[in-house]
Amino acid sequence: MSHHFIRFTGVHYSYPDGTEALKGVSFTATHGERVAILGLNGSGKSTLLLQTNGLLLPTTGEVNVGDVPVTKKTASLVRQAVGMVFQDPDDMLFMPTVYDDVAFGPRNMNLPEVEVERRVTAALKAVGLEEVSKKAAFQLSGGQRRSVAIASVLSMKPDILVLDEPSANLDLSARDNLIKLLDTFHHTILLATHDLEMAKQLCPRAILLNQGRIIADDSTEKVIETFFSVCLRKEQ
Amino acid sequence: MAKTEKILYSLTKIDKGRRTVVPTVVMLILTILYLVAVLSVPLHMPQKLIWLTAYPIFLSELCGIGYLKIFVRSLWILPILIFIGIFNPFIDTAPAFTIGNVTVNRGWVSLFSILLRGIIAFQSVLILVSTSGIIETFNSLRKIGCPAVLVTQLQLTYRYIAVIIEESLTIKRACAARGFGKRSYPLKLWSRLIGQLLVKSTHRATKIHLAMLARGFNGVLPTGNAVYWTSTSWLWLFGGIVFIAILRFTDFTSLLLHLTGNFNR
Ligand SMILES: Nc1ncnc2c1ncn2[C@@H]1O[C@H](COP(=O)(O)OP(=O)(O)OP(=O)(O)O)[C@@H](O)[C@H]1O
Ligand SMILES: [Mg+2]
């Protein structure tokens, strides 16, 4: 996949219980572009992100990553390109030690163990957590778990990075580190977040979701203004 | 610390094991051979089993665990063994031997045989797990040719225990935090909590599975650590096999009687 872009075309998605979480979402994020996904709780951000690597497949509509349409068949190919940080780090961490968790992706890529070790060390260093590599995930603080979850995706060196509220639970310095770290990532980023400052600092462009529909797609500054008016309308 | 939390911590200890002189794969092969040796001893020959206890004693000391610890832990299996063998003395009443004027029947001999056999077999497995760690043991199973799918099933089942414990811990905390010091809850609430525990654990397991897929999981857990067999492994394997074979096939009992000159039964 030479072109690291993501394209959603008329994507609808309903959960098995009938909840319509996405109601016709279309947008394209081109190579190297960083797009913030904004929206109220339950507006469909996480659902949208899960479509990017085929963990959920559209009920109707199409998602393309590079030249590849995301289907059941192509999912494993797409997942090598798209690195995804889940909203809840506990959903990602399951190996006995932090080290093994960060090594999980690279080992699945069948890399030689030397390379795996190099990547794990680098990824843990990037999030400032080398010293906990021998611990189990449940022995970490909430913010540390978050950082490990991020490291476990960085170690895969993805072409496209998809993050679901990565700054939640992080302290100020960890958050700053994360922003700097993401700033050095020169490929495509999709970032769902409630951290508007972070969105402004990292992403020139933003998409605003409301009840499963895109209601604004513009420069982050402008979209945030629209977002405020949506919030106001909801409060009234 | 709460009991549930302690279990979690001890799980991580079992996970990792401790570094020992004997390489993991060798340990696994020797344990399997030892199990075969123990299980192949006929029921009416418990004296042979007594000599085979030398293996767990020697190995636990060699690996620096201490036999006492292993022995105490192995007693856990005793109730199960008693359950298996308890009827033997009443079924098999043929006399085996007499001491003074007490006749011991064959049933008692086989009961003793079952208990001893079960305990030392369990001890050897305990030593394997506490030296190599569950994870490494699973990985070694892969290395000696166990099908990957099977081993992955075992590994995930084992990881799932940790997930359930973690979930039960959060439920317990949530209850405690809003329970105003209440210590007991009505049975009805308990049944709902347990149902909830299953639902939550399943949900989390599903999420974890998604996250695994997102990181390239293809049905087989990667084993990692590349070096499994070194030149010293052959030495350990050879030494271990000889040791077990000697324990199993030498008739120490008659040898001893012979040496002390009392060979006249
Ligand atoms: N597993 C599920 N089954 C049924 N409905 C779900 C499920 N997960 C989410 N939903 C529903 O889908 C809608 C979108 O949820 P989603 O998680 O995408 O929201 P979100 O924008 O990520 O919200 P937040 O900011 O709170 O993370 C919500 O109405 C939610 O209730
Ligand atoms: Mg969400």
pLDDT in tens, A83-113: 999 888 888 887 778 998 898 888 888 888 8
Q: Mean per-residue pLDDT for B192-217?
A: 82
Alpha carbon distances (Å) from B226 to A68, A114, B151: 34, 9, 17
SS3 of B253, please?
Answer: helix
How many Å apart are CA A164 and CA A37, to the nearest integer? 9
| pLDDT for residue A90 | 83
Average pLDDT over residues A115-128: 92
What is the fold, at CATH topology level, of the domain defined by A6-91+158-235? Rossmann fold (3.40.50)
User: Which of A:74-113 have CB within 8 Å of B?
Assistant: 75-76, 79-80, 82-84, 86, 88, 90-92, 94-97, 100, 103-105, 107-110, 112-113
Over residues B158-169, mean pLDDT: 78
As a whole number, mean pLDDT of residues B196-202 equals: 80
**Both B78 and B51 in a single domain?**
yes
* pTM, 2 dp: 0.73
Which of A188-192, B105-109, B124-128 is least confident? B105-109
* Nearest in space to B34 (alpha carbons), one of B61, B57, B64: B57
Asked if B26 and B117 sit in the same domain, the reply is yes
In DSSP terms, A64 is beta-bridged to: A7, A69
Facing A138 at nearest CB: one of B16, B166, B207: B166
Say yes or no to pLDDT of A181 above 50: yes
Confidence at residue B224, expressed as pLDDT on a 0 to 100 scale: 60
Greatest Cα pair distance, chain B, in angstroms, is: 76
Give the pLDDT confidence of A49-82 residue by residue, as tens digits: 999 988 899 999 999 998 899 998 888 888 888 9
Same-domain check for residues B47 and B35: yes
Q: Determine, yes or no, domain membership for B242.
A: yes
Q: For residue A100, what are its two tokens? A: 């093994």
Both B89 and B154 in one domain: the answer is no
> How much is the average pLDDT of A206-235?
91
A46/B contact by beta carbon, under 8 A: no
**Residue B142, domain member (yes or no):** no
At residue A113, the pLDDT reads 87
- Complex prediction ipTM: 0.71
Q: How confident is the model at residue A219 (pLDDT cuts 50, 70, 90)?
A: very high
Residues lining ligand 1, judged by CB closer than 6 Å? A 15, 17, 19, 21, 39, 41-47, 87
- Local confidence band at A218 (pLDDT 50, 70, 90 cut-offs): very high
Beta carbons of B216 and A108 less than 8 Å apart: yes
pLDDT value of residue B2: 59
Residues B50, B171: one domain?
no
Q: Are residues B84 and B172 in the same domain?
A: no
Q: Is B171 helix (H, G, I), strand (E, B) or coil?
A: helix
For residue A80 the two structure tokens come to 């090598």
Q: Is residue B190's pLDDT more than 80?
A: no
* Cα-to-centroid distance, A87 and ligand 2 (Å): 6
Confidence class for position B265, pLDDT limits 50, 70, 90? very low
Mean pLDDT estimate for chain A: 90
Residue B124 lies in a domain: yes
Span A190-200, average pLDDT:
94
CA distances from A206 to A44, A65, A115 (A): 15, 19, 36
- In which band, very low, low, confident or very high, does the pLDDT at A2 lie, cut at 50, 70 and 90? very low
* Coarse DSSP helix, strand, coil percentages of chain B, rounded to the nearest 5 percent: 70, 5, 25
Closest CA to B216 of A18, A38, A76: A76
For residues B216 and B245, the model is more confident at B245
Tell me the range of B10-19, B137-146, B182-191 where mean pLDDT is highest: B137-146
Domain count, chain B: 2
Do the domain assignments include residue B141?
no
pLDDT at residue B263 is higher than 70: no
Taking the C-alpha atoms of B156, B160, B163 and B164 in order, what is their torsion angle to the nearest 10 degrees?
Answer: 180
- At B218-258, the pLDDT tens digits run 777 776 655 567 788 889 899 999 999 998 888 877 787 77
Residue B93 shares a structural domain with residue B193? no
Q: Is pLDDT above 80 for B188? A: no
- B163 contacts in A (CB within 8 Å)? 94
Dihedral through CA B86, CA B89, CA B90, CA B92, nearest 10?
120
pLDDT-based confidence at residue B181 (cuts at 50, 70, 90): low
How far is the alpha carbon of B9 from chain A, nearest alpha carbon, in Å?
9
Please tell me the predicted confidence (pLDDT) of residue A23.
96
How far does the CA of residue B3 sit from the closest CA of chain A (Å)?
15
Residue B105, domain extent: 20-132+230-260
Q: Mind telling me how many Å the CA of A92 is from chain B's nearest CA?
A: 5
pLDDT tens figures, B100-125: 778 888 888 888 889 999 999 999 99
Residues B218 and B238 in one domain: no
Query: Are B77 and B183 members of one domain?
Result: no
Residues B142-167 have a mean pLDDT of 80
Is residue B104, in this structure, part of any structural domain at all? yes
Rounded average pLDDT over B11-26? 71
Q: Tell me the sheet residues that pair with A65.
A: A6, A68
Cα separation values, B16 from A17, B19, B159, Å: 41, 9, 13
> Chain A to chain B, count of Cβ pairs less than 8 Å apart?
81
Same-domain status, B114 and B218: no
Sheet holding A20-29, edge to edge: A20-29, A6-14, A60-65, A68-69
pLDDT at B176: 65
For helices B134-143 and B24-39, what crossing angle results, to 10°?
Answer: 80
pLDDT of B131 higher than 50: yes
Using pLDDT thresholds of 50, 70 and 90, give the confidence band for residue A1: very low
Check pLDDT > 70 for residue B183: no
Alpha carbon distance A32, A186 (integer Å)? 6
Specify the pairing of strand A82-85 against strand A68-69: unpaired
**Same domain, yes or no: B40 and B108:** yes
Comparing B83 with B3, the larger pLDDT belongs to B83
B49 and B90 both lie in a single domain: yes
